[in-house]
């Protein structure tokens, strides 16, 4: 992808989803969220001024964030409302 050719993906399209670029993404770009995009960018090794991250990588990180969110919610529900950290 090249910025001069105009075929780059806007990060806002990855966060909020988009139906643009039908040739490369026939089903559109699914909504991934800011946390998944941040995590996908942080796990890639930057070997220069550019970071190349694919939509599939962001989707993988989205699934991981969802599992962490569900796990934390499960633990908090299991501890109950009266739970507080020990002094």
Domain ranges in the chain?
Answer: 11-56+64-76
pLDDT tens-place string over residues 22-61:
666 667 677 778 888 888 888 887 777 777 777 888 889 9
Given pLDDT bands bounded at 50, 70 and 90, which one contains residue 6? low
Question: DSSP code of 64?
Answer: H
Hey, how many other C-beta atoms are within 10 angstroms of the C-beta on 70? 10
What is residue 42's predicted lDDT score, i.e. its pLDDT? 85
Q: Which of 4-13, 31-40, 45-54, 74-83 has the weakest average pLDDT?
A: 4-13
What is residue 77's predicted lDDT score, i.e. its pLDDT? 92
What is residue 65's predicted lDDT score, i.e. its pLDDT? 92
What is residue 1's predicted lDDT score, i.e. its pLDDT? 46
Phi, psi of 50, rounded to the nearest 5 degrees: -110, 145
What is residue 49's predicted lDDT score, i.e. its pLDDT? 75
Contact 36/69 with Cβ under 8 angstroms? no
């Amino acid at each position: 992808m090249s910025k001069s050719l105009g075929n780059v993906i806007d990060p806002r399209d990855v966060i909020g989803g988009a139906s643009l670029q039908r040739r490369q993404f026939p089903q559109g770009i699914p909504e991934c969220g800011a946390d998944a995009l941040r995590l996908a960018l942080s796990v890639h090794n930057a070997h220069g001024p550019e970071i190349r991250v694919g939509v599939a990588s962001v989707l993988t990180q989205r699934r991981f964030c969802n599992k962490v969110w569900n796990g934390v919610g499960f633990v908090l529900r299991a501890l109950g409302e009266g739970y507080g950290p020990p002094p």
